[in-house]
Amino acid sequence: MRTERTQAARAEARGEVASADGAIVEEEGARLVKEPSRRRAGLAVVTGASSGIGAALAPRLAADGYDLLLVARREERLRELAERVREAHGVQARCLALDVTEEDALERLLEAAPEPAVLVNNAGAGRFGPAVEASPAEQARIVRLNCESLTRLTLGYLPGMVSRGRGVVVQMASIAGFQPVPYFAVYAATKAYVLSFSEALDKELEGSGVRVVSVCPGPVPTEFQAAAGSGDAAKEPAYNRRTPEQIAEATARAIARPRPVVTAAPYHGFLRFAQRFLPRRTVLSVAARKMRQRGI
């Protein structure tokens, strides 16, 4: 009786593709039929993975063959998501319950995932409303999460990616980073930082095989909107909103074919272009009026 190894060798000689574990699925006459192998794209680390865009991105990256390390504070949600992804896509999916603003966050991430192919800095927070009414402590935490933690994780992982000659860092930025936004001042400022920092890094890394990509969503109906007190994003005009799944799709495409700044809606690309040529006071007035219309 032929062994699986002999069968696999004969199949390879015929130019057939073996399954991931090399096992024979069935035999038709003299022709060996094998399952197509699942392409392994490497490991993707996704922060803020317990809900919203992060939770939508996990299965999308798994569909592209990425194993996953899912990171967020809510462990139970991570475990449920990881189980769904493993069952649906047959990839490895691990969980790390972690607040990325903690001092040892980078150390713990590097221990859990020392050589990822992709890092997605998706964890973020914001708060709508007049700045003079905001909690200083809460706004400081937003800066720590959106800027300091993102910077620490990015710079912690980039040297290894550069030494390996490959890798993609995805920063979840925002169209709010294209201009100042009254009544969303701190959040918009943090996203402007993310854009500036990431575009500069991407240029520095030119020719290294490593890219830094900023994905810039607009309104997306997620738990972020409720936590930020911004109202229901689902009520935004269709041209101005996207679903978490649409942002996940745009992100996956950006990983496959990186470019410095990615918008998921044509209207947002137009805004990015147009605001460069409008007077600053006009941009501010339009942004303030838009926020007031949302009841801020």
Contact by Cβ (8 Å): 93, 86: yes
Joined together, the tokens standing for residue 242 give 């996207």
Q: Is residue 24 classed exposed, middle or buried when 0-12, 13-18 and 19+ CB atoms within 10 A define those classes?
A: middle
Residue at 88: amino acid letter:
A
Q: Closest Cα to residue 218, out of 275, 285, 281, 173?
A: 173
- Round to whole Å and give the CA distance between 20 and 5: 13
Select which of 157, 183, 187, 193 is catalytic.
187
Q: How many CB atoms lie within 10 A of CB 269?
A: 15
- Catalytic site includes residue 267: no
Q: How many CB atoms lie within 10 A of CB 199?
A: 17
Q: Chain centroid to CA 164: how far?
A: 21
Contact by Cβ (8 Å): 96, 75: no
Q: Chain centroid to CA 81: how far?
A: 15
Active-site residues, by number, are: 187
